[in-house]
Chains A and B, each alone.
Chain A
Amino acid sequence: AQSVTQLDSQVPVFEEAPVELRCNYSSSVSVYLFWYVQYPNQGLQLLLKYLSGSTLVKGINGFEAEFNKSQTSFHLRKPSVHISDTAEYFCAVSDQGGGFKTIFGAGTRLFVKA
């Protein structure tokens, strides 16, 4: 069965500092990975996705992620965060092996301090 582990439940960081949100996955079939952002009391917004091709994926709002098959990781990075990046971030994997449902990690709360 596929699963996603987000290694940090909360990440506090100062404004303009770099940040990395960690995500590890387990899968026995083709892997399709996603990062979503959720602002307070709002829905899910797709930040970026890895479906195939280049392992470095660029998304919206200056975020990028690197797919590492040997490490089974898909960490999200941003070189310089803003206060407005404060939100919950979810890593997710698509269950392409059956049903195609999306399996979410527990989320990482990014808190950007001034």
Chain B
Amino acid sequence: EPEVTQTPSHQVTQMGQEVILRCVPISNHLYFYWYRQILGQKVEFLVSFYNNEISEKSEIFDDQFSVERPDGSNFTLKIRSTKLEDSAMYFCASMKLRTGMVNEQFFGPGTRLTVL
């Protein structure tokens, strides 16, 4: 069964550095999402992406964040200048939109980002 994959599984970085988190969505999916979970807290929506542009973003997704689909398979989340409070688990999800049917997201295993 196809799965969403994410790399790396754990990323450690210094405050102020740029990081890029990578996701490979399920191949025929067209909607892509990033979520964040700070340790001990709930999973929060960051951004959704469709047709090569952001379709919705939360207030968490400020100018330090950007997303990109650089090729036909990857979907990336970039944090330009990391802060300590960016330390969290980041989940990618993808979905295949089917008109008139139930649409369900599939989540990746997550990338744990630690900012020192």
Contacts and interface: CB of A to CB of B under 8 A. Distances in A.
Given A43-B109, A43-B110, A102 B93 contact: yes
Nearest to B102: A51
7 contacts: A32-B104, A43-B107, A90-B42, A92-B43, A98-B56, A100-B105, A102-B33
A102 B36 CA distance: 12
Interface residues of B, number: 25
Contacts of B108: 43
A96 B48 CA distance: 13
Interface stretch (A18-26, A55-63, A64-72, A103-111): A103-111
A16 to B, nearest CB: 28
A101 B103 contact: no
The interface size bin for chain A is 20 to 34
Interface of B: 31, 33, 35, 41-45, 48, 55-56, 89, 91, 93, 95, 97, 102-105, 107-110, 112
A105 B37 CA distance: 12
Contacts of A100: 31, 48, 95, 97, 103, 105
Closest 10 CB pairs of A and B: A43-B109, A43-B110, A104-B43, A99-B56, A51-B102, A101-B45, A106-B42, A104-B42, A44-B107, A99-B48
A52 B31 contact: no
